[in-house]
């Protein structure tokens, strides 16, 4: 079987190899500071005794799981520390499929490409539900494709790539559908701290045996390289997930978990608010310039991506490479996110050069 590998790393490498200055708006790597307590935790770790350099518990440092459980209002046993939200999603989707209640995974289109990739890898089948033009998902459309074959519905809010933040009613309705068809709602909330709209609603607010919530510190603490995430399972589903995690990874990274625990304990809301404020400014700067360039675009309610459409410039990989070479701006092809955004390009607001990038686009397309 051939797996479809998401294009992110390909485009990043292409941009790196270009023999001109390129503004990187490809990756989801924040360019802002991590919490100070995270740096302090890492420094401290370097001087610990050798026993602290050995395997942590497979399901994660106990204190980190306790800290997360207390904050999220769940039992510590329900929390599995993972290798980022990526592994959390993998464990959640695998767990849904191995229940043998169908092999279909319902996904939104546009979609974060790792979901369909993981679906194929796990032997499942994708069922896509188109969102509206603002990226919102109508639960009635999900219900229309749901059946006894549905193993899971996988959603992401705040959303990559649309920036949509699903209201509480959507999440509630999706949990209901999952319950009705004995399926699992997998709610990927990795951008929860980047809700710019104040309307974010976590699936954890609902009590259900049919939902798994995934998350990570990758984005919230600006540490995508640390690889610390987590999944929160219903009590009856957690044991198999822990076994799978152990068989695949043995355990996670101890220094990363140690530093994240320190940062979680010591970082107040001001840190997260400051990052949201930075993003708000960048959204404004970038979309103002897109207006000037005559482009159509999405204004994100959350996450840190903007989808833009330029006339006669579809979002193909070829056009993305041309834009890197000729305009010096690197984005992601819309076609990487499914059929519905083929005409669009996605730009990540993870560079201080947002204004310059927008100016380059305006010059190039005018
Ligand atoms: C929607 C979504 N889920 C998961 C991930 C992966 O997160 P992590 O780096 O924590 O594995 C990303 C990264 O961009 C993402 O956008």
Provide the 10 A C-beta neighbour count for residue 320: 26
Q: Which atom of ligand 1 is nearest to the CA of 228?
A: 10
**Is 84 close to ligand 1, i.e. is its CB under 6 Å away?**
yes
> pLDDT tens digits for 152-199?
999 999 999 999 999 999 999 999 999 999 999 999 999 999 999 999
Q: Quote the CA–CA distance of 133 and 116 in Å, as a whole number.
A: 21
**Is 229 close to ligand 1, i.e. is its CB under 6 Å away?**
yes
- Sheet harboring 211-216: ordered strands across? 79-82, 229-232, 211-216, 184-188, 150-156, 104-109, 125-130
Q: Best mutation site among 107, 154, 190 for ligand 1, i.e. most ligand atoms within 8 A of its Cβ?
A: 190
Domains in the chain, please, with CATH?
8-34+269-365 (3.90.1150.10), 54-266 (3.40.640.10)
**Is 256 close to ligand 1, i.e. is its CB under 6 Å away?**
no
Q: Quote the CA–CA distance of 246 and 98 in Å, as a whole number.
A: 17
Q: Calculate the CA dihedral of residues 164, 80, 258, 254 and round it to 10 degrees.
A: -120
> pLDDT tens digits for 249-289?
999 999 999 999 999 999 999 999 999 999 999 999 999 99
| DSSP letter assigned to residue 256 | H
**Is 163 close to ligand 1, i.e. is its CB under 6 Å away?**
no
Position 1 confidence tier, pLDDT thresholds 50, 70, 90: low
Q: Which atom of ligand 1 is nearest to the CA of 217?
A: 10
**Is 82 close to ligand 1, i.e. is its CB under 6 Å away?**
no
Q: Which atom of ligand 1 is nearest to the CA of 88?
A: 11
Instruction: Look up the pTM and report it.
Output: 0.97
Determine the distance separating the centroid of ligand 1 and the alpha carbon of 364, expressed in angstroms: 31
């Amino acid at each position: 079987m051939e797996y479809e590998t998401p294009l992110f790393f390909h485009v990043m490498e292409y941009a790196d190899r270009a023999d001109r200055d390129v503004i990187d708006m490809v990756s989801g790597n924040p360019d802002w500071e991590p919490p100070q307590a995270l740096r302090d935790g890492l420094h401290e770790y370097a001087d610990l005794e050798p026993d602290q350099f050995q395997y942590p518990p497979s399901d994660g440092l106990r204190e980190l799981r306790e800290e997360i459980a207390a904050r999220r209002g769940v039992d510590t046993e329900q929390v599995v520390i993972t290798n980022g939200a990526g592994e959390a999603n993998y464990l959640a989707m695998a767990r849904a499929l191995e229940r043998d209640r169908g092999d279909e995974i319902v996904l939104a289109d546009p979609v974060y490409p790792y979901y369909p990739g993981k679906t194929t890898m796990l032997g499942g089948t994708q069922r896509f539900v188109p969102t509206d033009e603002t990226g919102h998902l109508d639960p009635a459309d999900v219900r229309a494709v749901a059946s006894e074959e549905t193993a899971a519905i996988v959603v992401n809010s705040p959303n990559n790539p649309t920036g949509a933040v699903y209201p509480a009613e959507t999440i509630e309705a999706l949990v209901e559908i999952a319950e009705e068809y004995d399926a699992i709602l997998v709610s990927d909330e990795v951008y929860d701290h980047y809700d710019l709209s104040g309307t974010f609603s976590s699936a954890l607010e609902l009590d259900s045996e049919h939902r798994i919530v995934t998350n990570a510190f990758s984005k919230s603490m600006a540490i995508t390289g640390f690889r610390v995430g987590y999944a929160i399972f219903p009590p009856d589903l957690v044991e198999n997930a822990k076994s799978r995690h152990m068989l695949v990874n043995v355990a996670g990274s101890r220094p990363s978990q140690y530093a994240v625990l320190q940062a979680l304990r010591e970082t107040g809301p001001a840190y997260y608010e400051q990052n949201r404020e930075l993003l708000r400014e960048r959204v404004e700067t970038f979309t103002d310039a897109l207006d000037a360039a005559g482009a159509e675009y999405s204004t994100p309610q959350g996450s840190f991506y903007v989808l833009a459409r330029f006339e006669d410039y579809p979002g193909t990989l070829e056009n993305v490479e041309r834009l890197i070479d000729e305009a010096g701006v690197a984005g992601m092809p819309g076609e990487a996110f499914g059929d519905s955004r083929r005409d669009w390009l996605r730009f990540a607001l993870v560079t201080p050069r947002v204004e310059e990038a927008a100016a380059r686009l305006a010059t190039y397309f005018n």
